[in-house]
């Protein structure tokens, strides 16, 4: 190497940054350290893929399997007994409901019939009293009024309501028109006379009231009393 080349090489070295002048020593890893690191990585990967502890992954012994089988057998027998009891209770409940429904159909009028017994007794007493010579007509009349009140009270107790629409507006839902009568001093469609009272049970019609309805007089018509 010439002196000039030597000088230029020194200048190149001196012009380099301080960091490039320092050379790092190579990191030396032994075989034992590499194997230890690899084993640690494998354990970490196994723990990440399986959260169950290592001792729980161990294969159970025959005694443990037999014990688990006995426990499962006891649980299944308990569930079966519970199912059989529930089925028996359901069958008994169904039979009881059928029996109660049948009795309800047979004896639906039992309470109402009991109320009518007192009315029948009163009517029989009135009939017996009417044939006696010492009984006057007023006594029989008072007895009939009392009997009628007993019957009305029994019907009211079971929501049987009387329909007596005198001087009301005709309603085809509850009334049945027997005739139309022209009247001068009555509103058209009003009820003049109730031929037969009606009755309804709660909101169900048992029998409509049979009535005579007022009709508006036309100019060519005359009131009924003038036609006679």
52-68 per-position pLDDT tens digit: 454 555 687 888 888 88
Of 58-67, 95-104, 173-182, 183-192, minimum mean pLDDT range: 58-67
Of 37-41, 59-63, 122-126, 157-161, minimum mean pLDDT range: 37-41
| C-beta separation of 161 from 206 below 8 A | no
* Sequence-separated (6 or more) residues with CB below 8 Å from residue 163: 174, 175, 197, 198, 199, 200, 208, 209
**Check: CATH 2.30.22.10 for 162-228?**
yes
Q: Is the pLDDT of residue 48 over 70?
A: no
pTM listed for this prediction: 0.54
What ranges do the domains of the chain cover?
106-158, 162-228
Please name which of 211, 199, 116, 204 lies closest in space to residue 161, comparing C-alpha atoms: 199
């Amino acid at each position: 190497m010439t002196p000039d080349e030597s000088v230029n090489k020194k200048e190149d070295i001196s012009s380099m940054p301080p960091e490039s002048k320092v050379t790092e020593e190579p990191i030396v890893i032994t075989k034992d350290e590499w194997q230890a690191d690899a084993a640690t990585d494998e354990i970490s990967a196994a723990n990440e893929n399986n959260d169950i502890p290592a001792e729980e992954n161990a294969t159970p012994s025959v005694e443990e399997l037999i014990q688990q089988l006995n426990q499962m057998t006891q649980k299944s027998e308990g569930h079966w007994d519970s199912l059989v009891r529930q089925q028996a209770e359901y069958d008994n409940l169904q039979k009881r409901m059928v029996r109660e429904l049948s009795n309800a159909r047979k004896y639906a009028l039992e309470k109402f019939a009991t109320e009518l017994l007192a009315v029948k007794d009163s009517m029989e007493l009135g009939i017996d009293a009417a044939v006696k010579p010492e009984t006057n007509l007023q006594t029989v009349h008072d007895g009939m009024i009392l009997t009628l009140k007993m019957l009305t009270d029994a019907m009211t107790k079971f929501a049987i309501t009387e329909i007596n629409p005198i001087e009301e507006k005709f309603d085809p839902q509850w009334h049945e028109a027997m005739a139309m009568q022209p009247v001068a001093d009555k509103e058209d469609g009003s009820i003049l006379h109730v031929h037969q009272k009606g009755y309804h049970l709660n909101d169900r019609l048992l029998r409509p009231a049979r009535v005579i309805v007022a009709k508006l007089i036309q100019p060519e018509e005359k009131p009924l009393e003038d036609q006679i």
